[in-house]
Structure 1
Amino acid sequence: MRKKTLFKAELLKQVLRQTGWVSIAYFIALFFILPFQVLRRTGEDGIGYPVYPESLPEGMNPLFDYGYGLQYPFVLLAPLLMGIFLFRYLQNKGYSDFLHSLPMKRVQLFLIHIGTGVLLLAVPLLLNALLLGLLLTTGDATILYEWNDIGEWTGVLLLFSLLIYSVSVFVGMLTGMSLLQGIVAFIFLVLPEALMTLVTSNLVFYFEGFTPSYYMSAFSQEYSPVIQMFSANLGSVPGMVLMFYGIATLLFLLGAYSLYRIRPLEMAGQAVSFPKAAPVFQYLIIFCFMLVGGIFFASGPWDTWEWLIFGYVVGSLFGFLVTEMLLEKTWRIFSLRTIRNYVVFAGISAIVVFVVQLDLFGYEERLPELEDIESVYIGDHNYRSTSSATMGENMTETENILRVMNVHKYLVEHTSGNKEGRSLFLEYELEDGERVARSYVLPPGFNREDYLQEVYESREYKEMSSPIFRTGPEDVKSVEFHGGEGTSYEISDAAEIEAFYEHMREDIYSRSYSQMTSPRLLGSDVILHMKGTGLSAQADTERFQVSLYDENTAAWMKEEGFYDQVFTDIEDVEELKIVTFDQVPEGDYYEEFRTRADDGEGVETISDPDEIREILSSSLFPAPAERMVGIYFKQSQSYPMDIYGLEE
């Protein structure tokens, strides 16, 4: 027994010597990102930023945002490296044979390494938490964070560290190469998001109305810890997700131990430790390469079935060759066996593609029943993919729901088959909580005014789509107005903000459909700075525009004396030039427009203010188009500031 204890102590020392540097580096990085920065800020006059809690959004933990997220790469890298270096002995046959010849069971070897890794990852976090606590009791750090922030920061980062560490260890049991372990572990961590992105990006070729961005935005931050770490504040991760991550950590460690018990020692140095698992590894990679190939070759103007299938063939062949060479460790891979394996994969893939495109579940033609719909959204963009934190409620009035369903029916019956062009996004929220979302490129015969005017001019739609209704004047810290020449003006007085809201809301209620849909080229850009803006100022703003048609607001701006400073009016436009092309320009349409406009041949020039107002009030749409109009402002007459398509 004494001999076994001696071996365990010596083994523990050896493990600490091999991996202790990862823990030390982890501690130093977190120290300079958090306690050191807190010490600097509390030690300087006027540098108590961010002030807690008034300057932060409700419920936000400031410790997660220190260093502008610089702590997260270390939270990802340290556990990955810990898992790689702790079990590096499994990748070296001589060292592996030596350790497994010691008078210790495999479970003891595994527990010593696993326990050391957990300890070395926990100590840097706990020490930094202790330092943050000391600063809280001895300094002025109370203006920066509170005790519960320290506890939440320590617990969440420890959970994420252990989850990443467990994945690294689990993958290490499946491969005999350290470099491959790190790469595959990272891929494994982003696999849910990566697979979702690849699959949804391909399904758009199969189903009219399919909206990849909708599903990706709803899914992306739920099941991939790496994506969640770098795209959201970790303090806002739901408790159920944290519980799921905790359970997943235990399952990965148990899975790693189960694999460790049966892992053949002679597989050190091999790409895959278990020969029977090699086909799964290979076919998963080939599948991903196939989807990437389809997206690559069928993108843009080549979005046809022929290019999609060609991309599938090229992508799968490339993935097959790469994985075969990796598994066999040679480029001499051509044999009847390899050809047979690829033919099997190609046959299965062909069957799947054929079945999917049959649309057996009626995805394309499905419309919810009116009695099942609780609310509806309609707009030019998928609002779930935007960064707005104050999205309004969907429309619930029966008249608007019926109008949206009428638009949906038309688009189902008159699908264009195009992937590029003006689009429309629809979403139904059903009584049972299910959401049905579709996005369509509008067909040539679709008259937007006939189908959308009544919806867009309704009060409910205006309240849903404009930030001036989704927020109240009491939520706003300041309102910033920007003019066309870089000029700006800001108001922060509560009475002025309330007056602006009152006039702006009145103007939006009175906007017509044409005023709402035509590009707002003239006017003033407005930025609402919301209260609670802390470290992420960009995320806590709302943007829109005071347009030429908003007469009440424009009159109020004149009364306040800053209209001329920030409002671009008709008088600021020098002229319009209209150019008609034989076909829609491809490539750099801006330069082609400018060249034709400078030549003057076949170019119509408009300089009368009334005609300019009439054209800019008509149905313009994003360029390129066969007929385009360029807007030339007086401060920059030599080139057009904006180019839009112009309807006949």
Structure 2
Amino acid sequence: MTSGISSSKWVVFKSAVKRFKWLGILYAVALFLELPLVLWMELNREKSIQGNLWAEVAGKSFQSQILFHPVAHLTSIAVAVIFGLILFYYLQNERASTFFHSLPIKRWSLYWQNLLAGLTLIWLPILINGLLLYGVMAVFGVTEVQWPNHYAYDPLMETVDANLANAVSVGKLFAFWLFLNLLMTGLFYIFTVFVGMLTGNVLLQGALTFIGLILPLGLYLLIKFNLWKLLYGFPRDIDESTVLWLSPLVRYLDYQNYQLLFKSQAGYIWYVVAAVLFCLISLFLYRKRHVEAAGETLAAGWIRRVFIYGVATCATLTGGLYFSALNESSTGALYLGYFIGGVLGYIIADMIAYKSFHFYRRWKGMVVFGAVFIVLLASVKLDLYGYQKYVPEQDEVKEVFFNGLNRDSVPAVESLKGQDNIRRVRELHRQIIKLEKENRNLEKSLNRPIPDGAFRPEEPRRVMTADITYVLDSGRKVKRTYMIDMDRYREFLYPIFNSEETKRSIYGRLFKTDVKKIDELNISNYHLGKSVRIYKRAEIDEALAALKKDVLNVSYEAAVENKRPTLAMLEFIAKTSWESKYVYYNLNYYEDFKNFTAFLEKHGYMEELFLNPEDVSEIIVKKAGSAETVAVKDKQKIKVLLNWCNLEDERAYLMRQQQPVNKGMVEYYGKIVTKKGSPIFVVFDSSPYAQQLIFKMMQEK
């Protein structure tokens, strides 16, 4: 028997392939049913619809996203993990482990042959189905695929990208498909094997595999959200395009894989590096692994300690977030969550690691973990690292991005580089830090239920999220996010906004728009449900020229404080390369836009968009949940009310009359009575300034 085994260097590889080829065949069939067969039916349906035109459009307009469908990816993940479990299952079974390691085959050979057997059985079905997919495309004469990418526009927004649909050759497309699937299934398989070297229980191996594939992303989010709770000014935004790469499992199941087609290679390179490292580390652990580890939950003492402290850390952070979510305004809830999560996490991890309920015998480890966590928590909370008080020096700052100063909710596309603006932002930043307690109380108050009588229209409060990002000369970025009362910081915000540089930054997309790419301009007066569409090239050019002048003169009261009504919403419509319309840019139209108003009057669009106060007999204003009613007949007041109302139907109007009194919120509604006698039912804007105006009108009755 020994000579027979020695005579074949690949006996383990051949045996593994022979024993588990049935699973490889099932995988190949499953892929065939999910991909080539579905693609054939889809192309056949498209061809029958196009008829004689198919030959012309087959290589130009066909789009298919089934190649990257999560269902097919889910099948590939399951198969890769299953192969990782069964091919090295002998390590988790004491008798099988003893038998295999008694064979005259070195451990490194056992490892590589089983590893290659698994890769062969996983990759062959992928290669076969890849060829079938390519063949299906060839049979139907498809040579190129229009691949939509909704995130392909230039981040600086200089022009409308005509390549939102990328013409990708079939060969290039399937090269990427093969690379992606071979890499990801190989990574999942190798990682499963790596986890198997750490544990002696197959069920725990499977569970830890999926946990490990999500862990980097989960740990990143846990740390980030906990720091947000602990550190004042810690940014809250998450860049999904960057963060999702931390979890290959999430990235692979993301239905938007096609959006990154051929555009981001860094993540895939890191996956290749990770796969190689896991291979080498697994081999090292295998050679050091004791046969007696079979049946144990974890294969070595150091692995137990890593597992226990790792689980306890994640449980502590999760507990803090969970309890603080139940009570956003309570710091005590956060600390209570840390305590409960840490204790439960440590106890459960200890019982799993040692397969024993006698966790209390190892109480010293829990004390050490608790002490270390408390020290770290205290150092962060006390800001020993100087994070919360840090404001870069003027001469260190190259540029600064400041967002939050416009109601259009469009992030600034250009930075502020002027020394005056950098100085103003730094002054604002220092003042925010100085009034930290006041700002924190404001943020907490927003998370509390509004008590009866808390809102008074004569005392409106405007809250904004201020995002500050400094770019230093060294290239390092310093980012902070704060919730502030706009009125409290008006003396700092006002001069920042009123500089031309800031307005060019806020409305940068408008200035960078290539007018030739805009095919349509929609103007929607949502107050009264009226709209105008402009298609003429000369008029679009004229409108954009007027708007570029107006945004430089827009007032702080209109764009920031909401003290000027938004008369209409402007939508700039562009077309993709496959003639599909999409909204390229939105812009609010304020009373301040004198040039644009002159444009509308010149071309007769004002009458189509707005209701003339002279055509209105009266506006009846009612207070929800109250008998208070006032009939406004003054034309100047009618003009004001027309700009602060929103259209609704009669049914809603009647329902509001039955609405109970809500002392925590004031709401006004009513109807416009035209001279023709027809009523127009409306609800009035709920913004503090609009509420204040209407409140005064009600008092003047």
Give the TM-score, by structure 1 length.
0.80
State the shift of 1:524 in Å.
Answer: 3.6
1:155 correspondence with 2:176: no
SS in 2 for 1:141: coil
433, 440, 443: which one pairs with 1:417? 440
455, 468, 474: which one pairs with 1:432? 474
State the shift of 1:544 in Å.
Answer: 3.6
Alignment check: 8 A CA contact 1:298 1:304 kept: yes
Which residue is equivalent to 1:213? 237
For 1:324 and 1:381, how far apart are their aligned partners in 2?
Answer: 51
For 1:381 and 1:171, how far apart are their aligned partners in 2?
Answer: 50
Q: How does 1:34-433 map to 2 (within 5 A)?
A: 37-38=42-43, 40-41=45-46, 44-45=49-50, 71-74=72-75, 76-135=77-136, 137-144=138-145, 145-146=168-169, 147-213=171-237, 219-229=242-252, 230=254, 233-236=259-262, 238-299=264-325, 302-329=328-355, 332-337=357-362, 339-380=363-404, 392-415=413-436, 416-418=439-441, 419-420=443-444, 421=446, 422=463, 423-433=465-475
State the shift of 1:505 in Å.
Answer: 2.4
State the shift of 1:398 in Å.
Answer: 2.2
Gaps of 5+ in 1: 57-61, 579-596, 619-623
For 1:516 and 1:382, how far apart are their aligned partners in 2?
Answer: 5
Aligned-partner residue type, residue 10 of structure 1: S
For 1:400 and 1:168, how far apart are their aligned partners in 2?
Answer: 54
State the shift of 1:321 in Å.
Answer: 3.0
Alignment check: 8 A CA contact 1:628 1:645 kept: no
For 1:402 and 1:608, how far apart are their aligned partners in 2?
Answer: 47
Return closer, same or farther for 1:512/1:241 CA change in 2, 3 Å cut-off.
same
Alignment check: 8 A CA contact 1:289 1:318 kept: yes
Moved more, 263-272 or 603-612: 603-612
1:461 correspondence with 2:502: yes
Q: Deviations over 1:201-225 (max 9, x none)?
A: 11123322111325x6585145333
Q: Deviations over 1:169-203 (max 9, x none)?
A: 21222223344333322332232221121112111
SS in 2 for 1:378: strand
Q: Which has the larger radius of gyration?
A: 2
Return closer, same or farther for 1:3/1:143 CA change in 2, 3 Å cut-off.
closer
Alignment check: 8 A CA contact 2:515 2:541 kept: yes
SS in 2 for 1:205: helix
Alignment check: 8 A CA contact 1:51 1:143 kept: no
Return closer, same or farther for 1:52/1:292 CA change in 2, 3 Å cut-off.
farther
Alignment check: 8 A CA contact 1:84 1:182 kept: yes
For 1:482 and 1:350, how far apart are their aligned partners in 2?
Answer: 56
State the shift of 1:608 in Å.
Answer: 5.7
Which residue is equivalent to 2:148? none
Which residue is equivalent to 2:686? 643
Return closer, same or farther for 1:404/1:75 CA change in 2, 3 Å cut-off.
farther
State the shift of 1:262 in Å.
Answer: 2.7
State the shift of 1:313 in Å.
Answer: 0.6
1:25 correspondence with 2:52: no
SS in 2 for 1:510: coil
For 2:679 and 2:366, how far apart are their aligned partners in 1?
Answer: 61
State the shift of 1:376 in Å.
Answer: 1.2
SS in 1 for 2:229: coil
9, 20, 23: which one pairs with 1:15? 20
Alignment check: 8 A CA contact 2:523 2:570 kept: yes
State the shift of 1:254 in Å.
Answer: 1.1
SS in 2 for 1:427: strand
SS in 2 for 1:335: helix
Aligned-partner residue type, residue 131 of structure 1: L
SS in 2 for 1:176: coil
For 1:382 and 1:278, how far apart are their aligned partners in 2?
Answer: 53
Which residue is equivalent to 1:582? none
SS in 1 for 2:478: strand
State the shift of 1:522 in Å.
Answer: 4.4
State the shift of 1:33 in Å.
Answer: 6.0
Which residue is equivalent to 2:626? 599
Alignment check: 8 A CA contact 2:43 2:140 kept: no
For 2:55 and 2:637, how far apart are their aligned partners in 1?
Answer: 52
For 2:316 and 2:580, how far apart are their aligned partners in 1?
Answer: 39
State the shift of 1:576 in Å.
Answer: 5.9
511, 516, 536: which one pairs with 2:554? 511
Alignment check: 8 A CA contact 2:403 2:412 kept: no
Return closer, same or farther for 1:476/1:16 CA change in 2, 3 Å cut-off.
farther
Aligned-partner residue type, residue 381 of structure 2: Q
Alignment check: 8 A CA contact 1:64 1:234 kept: no
Alignment RMSD (CA, Å):
4.3
Alignment check: 8 A CA contact 1:375 1:395 kept: yes
Gaps of 5+ in 2: 146-167, 447-462, 645-661, 673-677, 693-701
For 1:397 and 1:479, how far apart are their aligned partners in 2?
Answer: 33
Alignment check: 8 A CA contact 2:350 2:359 kept: no
SS in 1 for 2:399: strand
